[in-house]
Amino acid sequence: MSKIEEALPRSPVIQMKFMRAILRYLLMILLAFLLFGIILLISGKDPIQSYRDIFISTFGNSRGFSEVIVGMIPMLLTAMAVALPSRVGLINVGGEGQLYIGAAFATFGALTFSHLPAWLLIPIMMLLGMLGGALWAFLPGYFKSIGLVNETITTLLMNSVAPKIIGFLIFGFWHSPMDTVKTDNFVAAARLPAFFGTRIHLGLVFGLVLLVAFWLFMKYTRWGLEMYAIWNNPQAARRNGIPVKKYLIIAMCVGGAIAGLAGMSQVSGFYGVLLLNFSMSLGFMGFMICWLSGGDPLGIVVMSFVVSVIFTGGNLLQLTRGLPFAVINILLAFTLFVVLASPTIFKGKKS
Amino acid sequence: MSLLSILGVLSSAIFSGTSLLYTTLGEVIDERAGIVNLGLEGVLLVSASSGFAVTSITGNPYLGILVAMLAGGLMNLVLGYLVITRKANQLASGLALMFFGFGLSALIGKSYVGVKITSLPKILLPGLAGLPPLYSSLFRFDLLIFLVIPAAILVWWLLYRTRWGLGLRAVGENADTAFASGRDPRLIRYQALFVGGMLVGLGAAHLSIAYAMNWTEYMTGGRGFIAVALVIFSKWHPLRAIVGALVFSAAVAFQLLLQSSGLQVSPFLLDTIPYILTLVVLIAWGGNRKHSAPASLGRVYQGSE
Amino acid sequence: MKNKSYLILAICLSFVVMLSACGPAATEPVTEVATEAPTEVATEAPAAEPCLIIGALYGGPMNDAGYNQAMHEAVMAIKTNIPCVEIIEAENVPDEAGATTTMQNMIDQGAKLIFPTAFNHQYPALTLSQSNPDVIFEHAGGWEMGANFANFFGEPPDGWYLMGVAAGMMTTSNKIGFVAAFPLGWTLTFVNAFELGVQSVNPEAQTIVSYTFAWGDATKDADTTNALINQGCDVITMHVDSPATIISTAESRSVYSIGFQNLAAQQFAPEYWISGTGFTLGGTLTWLASMVLDGTWTPIFVRCGIDDGCMAIAPFGPRVPQEVKDLVAEKQAEISAGTLVVFKGPIVDQDGTIRVAEGEVLSSEVMGSVDWFVQGVIGSPK
């Protein structure tokens, strides 16, 4: 990659960096697509046709494109749930669990307060969702801050516990009379409104607003700067009077809250019910997106978009090429492999 | 609780715990060398599907087991390439491997869903032939079950009684020091990943060829992550891993027993117990340095160029 | 060394992936539909325009030897009977969001008749039916109806009763294991019908129900089957998507099995198979498709049983004695004649409450929302 950079002509520094970054991303995505094309060839499918299918179904019509945006929404949030704690050096792999618990809390709100009007109910559900996610992230954050256990392991374990709690709640208390795998459909007031007849729901606004807020926060507020100090050199930060422990716990909880909001937006905006195991590794995909983009808000938007294109397009692949839908994970994995194998992307990120 | 029920729980625990134990043993080796593999789920799936496919094509389950072991080793080598040679972050690489495994296993296994295979023969535990069939059928085990405890002992012996194992553990504690004392951390880690991967493949083979005798997408159901938890639960020691895997599987079997005796405890809640136990154990032992993780677990070895 | 090992790795991975290009001789690969010039495997001459494009989606894999395969076979029967149709299939569509996207894609591909076959495809299909009035949706197993939305299913309870009769006669431990996915109304009805059949020949025998909480989790199926056998059950049956693992496990422990969903399940238990009941809806689906083709389709709530050809009883296994076969045949005749009604009162539940009074019959509308077990069933109905 660096050879390509050297070969490019000189030009004003800022513009060049941006262009170089775009070019780098593009080349990597191309390489991943090439590798996946080889897999397709080996399995006897036509790669050109397959890629045409993917692109036609995502960019070829407005509905397909709107589906891509819909798929992006939870990933924007779960990626941020990893990005914010990472700014103080925390590794939050617990997005999956925090998402589920946030969804559970929000469902509780939807089912208990179903008589309230939307302008009250939705904010209540949002708060509940964030509370749930934050609670689920609290223990790992706390134990990390007192130096007892690594948050990577604790968040992973709590990931496994969360869907079982959801199962318990659905089957024990909330299941709809006709189908025990999910709750009753949410009342209209509990559903996030969608735009222009597509399935794009208000969660998109949450995601974009939070991304901007995140960027502003890190760059321009005192807290953002202190977080940077902690990430850079925790001992020095502590000596300078920054309450590191508090930051660790709060960062973890805020990350969890954002993931919880993602959960809420999925059950309220997308599904309209609480479903068992509704998350198709959304938390882990958020983790990957955060890594692919280096925790940068703009990068998160771009990579969420790319990942969503892959999955939305992959759906059509199943119908036209006879490939199992799960195969599209290979394309995602190759994209990840290619980026992971090129460490120059991760300038300044601790491993 | 009749004797039959209790023995039944033990039997079920052994049956379903075998694949878990193999996987945990493989991960113990890897983590002792300093590499954490979050992609175990993907490795298991690819091994299970390729082993099952080969068994179906050739009609020979032993060949299927060998292929599954090889597949596991190869998948781990992919992780090795990313993490050792390209120095990528272990967690991200592991997760990427997991997604890769989801897709690859679906591709491999697609034509073999619902196919009937010749499974491994079941042999009665020696000395129990005198029991009535209801009891003796509890203890008809296949080859892989018989081999799992010896495998754990083998892993223990490898780690603690060979020079290779010593080097591996040294690399896991501090790769730079190991390098300074004349070992090649990169080579050792690759080897650890391959050997560990083969054990994971063995676990996957037992699952699809001997236990479920079937292949469906995502059939491993989180076992990969359970294994990562179990490694910690057993404090990175292969013999303690036996206890861990057994306890975990017994909990599942016990929960099934409770269900059919009409007890009204939610099976979902019962399912969480092993994880909560692991968390508690972690927190309780967290401050104690004697039995903690290999010190360089998860860190990238920069090496000297 | 690095480059060489990477090369070897790539070769090995390619080899592993090439396994996907092979397949066992018996199973046919998925019918591929070429939307562009058909360079792929085509089962017919690509020249003519199809008379009808049909989309079908399944909750699990099409070759699971169970429910999904039964539905798949029924859909493919349409093509055998009406060769000019074109069929687009999607498998492993488990949840609602995926179902919506998939059905939408099918509509984009020109499908005018869609079969959502999984239980939870119903509401996405209903929603889409409202925004696509020129596409007809036939859902399997639900209850909603609309202008272009209807419903079809077999009637399993009668078959279950007959299976219960067979099981009741074959069991020696008087404990029969039932592996169920979820405590759904229909599942409970099947269990009840089964146990009623068991009790009609063997009043002491009990059915023990255990849930896996998944429609197609092979390892949970194996775990649950083993647990039931370890409790003393010597006959196993099930209501999950695919009976394959459960039956294989029972067979490997020398325990009798009774299949459900698909008659193909018998291959997994060459020795200890008793019988089974499965869906044979090919004729029904062909009938529905032909109505769509000649424009005479109207929304009909289709339920059909053994006599209509929608459900079938599997051949008996080698260990089943003639007297059992005769008794089952006798009872089957009685059900056809109407002299034997499975859910005729009095029927008492596990706590002793009378659920169906003397002289009354449980109606089929209620069967889908049953939340109790008959006496003699061990297990929780919730």
Question: How do the domains of chain B map onto residue ranges?
Answer: 3-113+140-291
Residues C368-377 have pLDDT tens digits of 778 889 999 9
Domain boundaries C49-155+281-304, corresponding CATH code: 3.40.50.2300
Asked if residue A246 belongs to a domain, the reply is yes
Report CB contact under 8 Å: B74, C13.
Answer: yes
User: What is the rounded CA–CA span in Å between residue A176 and residue C139?
Assistant: 20
pLDDT band at C34 (very low <50, low <70, confident <90, very high): very low
Report CB contact under 8 Å: B12, C226.
Answer: yes
Residue C88 to residues B108, B217, C65, C281, C287, Cα–Cα distance (Å):
22, 21, 20, 18, 19
Q: pLDDT per position in chain B (305 positions), as tens?
A: 678 888 888 988 999 899 999 999 999 999 999 999 999 999 999 999 999 999 999 999 999 999 999 999 999 999 999 999 998 889 999 999 999 999 999 999 988 888 888 888 888 877 777 777 777 778 888 899 999 999 999 999 999 999 999 999 999 988 888 888 888 899 999 999 999 999 999 999 999 999 999 898 888 888 898 898 888 888 899 999 999 899 888 887 887 787 777 666 777 887 787 788 878 877 887 655 445 567 667 666 655 43
E strands, chain B, are 123-124, 140-141
- Write down the pLDDT at residue A106: 94
Residues of C in contact with B217 (CB under 8 A): 61, 92
Q: Could you tell me if C173 lies within 8 Å of chain B, comparing CB atoms?
A: yes
Q: How far is C205 from chain A (nearest CA, A)?
A: 28
What CATH architecture is B3-113+140-291?
Orthogonal Bundle (1.10)
Residues B68-82 have pLDDT tens digits of 999 999 999 999 999
B-facing residues of C in 90-109 (CB < 8 A) are: 92
Give the mean pLDDT of chain A.
85
Task: List the single residue in A180, A320, A324 with the smallest CB-CB distance to C92.
Answer: A324
- Write down the pLDDT at residue B286: 63
Task: List the single residue in C21, C36, C105 with the smallest CB-CB distance to A49.
Answer: C36
A-facing residues of B in 267-296 (CB < 8 A) are: 268-269, 271-272, 275-276, 278-279, 282-283, 286-287, 293
Q: Report H helices in B110-237.
A: 133-136, 143-161, 163-173, 175-180, 185-205, 223-233
Task: List the single residue in B4, B207, B262 with the smallest CB-CB distance to C230.
Answer: B4
- Write down the pLDDT at residue C17: 41
pLDDT at C19 over 60: no
Q: Residue A15: count other Cβ atoms within 10 Å of its Cβ.
A: 9
Chain C's closest residue to B207, CA to CA, is C219
How long a stretch of residues is chain A? 351
Chain B's closest residue to A168, CA to CA, is B268
The pLDDT of A43-48, averaged and rounded, is: 86
Chain B's closest residue to A335, CA to CA, is B96
Chain A's closest residue to C87, CA to CA, is A319
Q: Give the number of domains in chain A.
A: 1
Which residue type sits at A101? I
**List of residues 6+ apart from A79 with CB closer than 8 A:** A286, A287, A289, A290, A293, A300, A303, A304
B-facing residues of C in 305-364 (CB < 8 A) are: none
Residues of A in contact with B102 (CB under 8 A): 326, 329
Measure CA C296 to chain center: 28
Q: Could you tell me if B122 lies within 8 Å of chain A, comparing CB atoms?
A: no
Chain B's closest residue to C94, CA to CA, is B217
Instruction: Mark residue A172 as left, alpha or beta (left: phi above 0; alpha: psi -120 to 50; beta: remaining).
Output: alpha
> In whole angstroms, how large is the CA radius of gyration of chain B?
20
Whether the CB-CB separation of A134 and A101 falls below 8 Å is answered with no
The pLDDT of C127-136, averaged and rounded, is: 93
Q: Minimum mean pLDDT among B57-66, B290-299, C57-66, C181-190: which range?
A: B290-299
Residues of C in contact with A42 (CB under 8 A): 14, 17-18, 20-21
- Write down the pLDDT at residue A182: 78
Give the mean pLDDT of chain B.
87
- Write down the pLDDT at residue C48: 66
Sheet holding C113-116, edge to edge: C85-90, C52-57, C113-116, C136-140, C149-154, C301-304
Domain C156-278+316-378 top-level CATH class:
alpha beta
B-facing residues of C in 47-86 (CB < 8 A) are: 60-66, 69
Chain A's closest residue to C99, CA to CA, is A315
pLDDT at A2 over 60: no
> In whole angstroms, how large is the CA radius of gyration of chain A?
21
How long a stretch of residues is chain B? 305
User: What letter does residue C43 receive in the DSSP assignment?
Assistant: S
- Write down the pLDDT at residue B37: 94
Whether the CB-CB separation of A244 and A255 falls below 8 Å is answered with no
Measure CA C292 to chain center: 24
- Write down the pLDDT at residue A179: 66
Q: Distance between the two ends of chain B, CA-based, in angstroms?
A: 64
Q: CATH 3.40.50.2300 region(s) of chain C?
A: 49-155+281-304, 156-278+316-378
pLDDT at C136 over 90: yes
Q: Residue A232: count other Cβ atoms within 10 Å of its Cβ.
A: 12
For residue C87, list its beta bridge partners: C54
Pairing of strands C354-356, C347-348: antiparallel
Asked if residue A46 belongs to a domain, the reply is no
pLDDT band at A348 (very low <50, low <70, confident <90, very high): very low
Asked if residue A242 belongs to a domain, the reply is yes
Residues C282-324 have pLDDT tens digits of 999 999 999 999 999 999 989 888 888 899 999 999 999 999 9
Residue A86: domain span = 71-308
Q: How far is C229 from chain A (nearest CA, A)?
A: 26
User: What is the rounded CA–CA span in Å between residue C259 and residue A75?
Assistant: 42
Element of type H or E holding A313: helix A297-321
Q: Could you tell me if C251 lies within 8 Å of chain B, comparing CB atoms?
A: no
- Write down the pLDDT at residue B292: 59
Chain C's closest residue to A275, CA to CA, is C95
Percent residues over pLDDT 70 in chain C: 87
Report CB contact under 8 Å: B282, A341.
Answer: no
Task: List the single residue in C18, C40, C89 with the smallest CB-CB distance to A42.
Answer: C18
C137-140's contacts with Cβ under 8 Å and 24+ in sequence apart are: C137/C113, C138/C113, C138/C114, C138/C285, C138/C288, C139/C115, C140/C71, C140/C115, C140/C116
Q: Minimum mean pLDDT among A179-183, A238-242, A249-253, C89-93: which range?
A: A179-183
Q: How many CA atoms lie within 13 A of B79 on its CB side?
A: 41
The pLDDT of A41-46, averaged and rounded, is: 86
pLDDT at C11 over 70: no
